[in-house]
Amino acid sequence: MPRFTLVSRRPIRISAIHDEEWVEGEACPDPQGLIDAGRLGQPSDIFTFTSPLPETRVLHPFRVEWDNVAIARPDAGFQPWWESLPQETRKNVRRSQRRGVTVRQVQFDEALVQGISRIYDETPIRQGRRFPHYRKSLDQVRSENSSYLDRSDLIGAFHNDALIGFIKIVRVNNIARIMQIVSLDAHTDKRPTNALLAKAMELCCAKGFSHLVYGKFVYDNKENSPVTEFKRRNGFERLEFPRYYVPLNAIGRAAIACGLHKGIKALIPEGIMNRFLAARAAHYRRRFARPASGSAESPEASKEVPA
């Protein structure tokens, strides 16, 4: 029996399978049966679900909205992926090596937990927003990073034997998903994030995964964000797949008719949203009296969440 969670509470309640993208096998093999039996776990107005990637066909007779992820194709081999990268991205990986960064697989142990904690505590702001992992206790860091370890690969970027970047990849069926990637801003000039992604791709090719998934390619309607451009320059492309929305009551039916099931942010024009995000980033820069982190060469850290 799957667990369920509310992914949205306002203005409507939308429920989904808990950690759906990390569940192996078919997370929701009989959606109609679950709905008919009233087993969604909590009162909600809409139930949403997807088929496991890389399935992209419409298979169920429910309302469909096209969602997206950023994917690279390890099954094509490392060299074709490497040669498809822009020259500047390849230079960044080589620059990382020249500047003393080493990248290797690591074990989940106390040294790694402490290294991740130091990265988390470097700055309260990443990508122009509050960083949710800032100043968490070691117990929290240890607990939150210990999920799915039986099917995870952990890769660290080191400089002078100190951890300056970290990526966690989780196997889900025959694809690999990046659960977390984070690096120290102080070492941005050494391009640890580029080096981590190259090592992750090399590992996925060796293990024969069909896809490497790096969160969403586009969040809401922000088609031209620095995060999207960073992923594009590192060999990721957009893959669209159907997300199903099932109204459970009159509120859910009305919300879908008005487009509210996609969320308020999806209804805001990109230009207006960009101005809001710039204002928010400026506010945090003033509040914390330091430059905002993140650039076209510094993607969002930790679990990916939309702005």
The domain segmentation of the chain, as residue ranges, is 4-66+240-275, 72-235
Mind listing the pLDDT tens digit for each residue in 163-222? 999 999 999 999 999 999 999 999 999 999 999 999 999 999 999 999 999 999 998 777
58: closest CA among 186, 238, 284, 240?
A: 240
Q: Give the global pTM.
A: 0.88
Domain 72-235 has CATH 3.40.190.10: no
pLDDT tens column, 218-264: 987 778 889 999 999 999 999 999 999 999 999 999 999 998 898 77
Residues written for the chain: 307
Please choose, from the candidates 150, 142, 197, 187, the residue with its C-alpha nearest in 3D space to the C-alpha of residue 170.
150
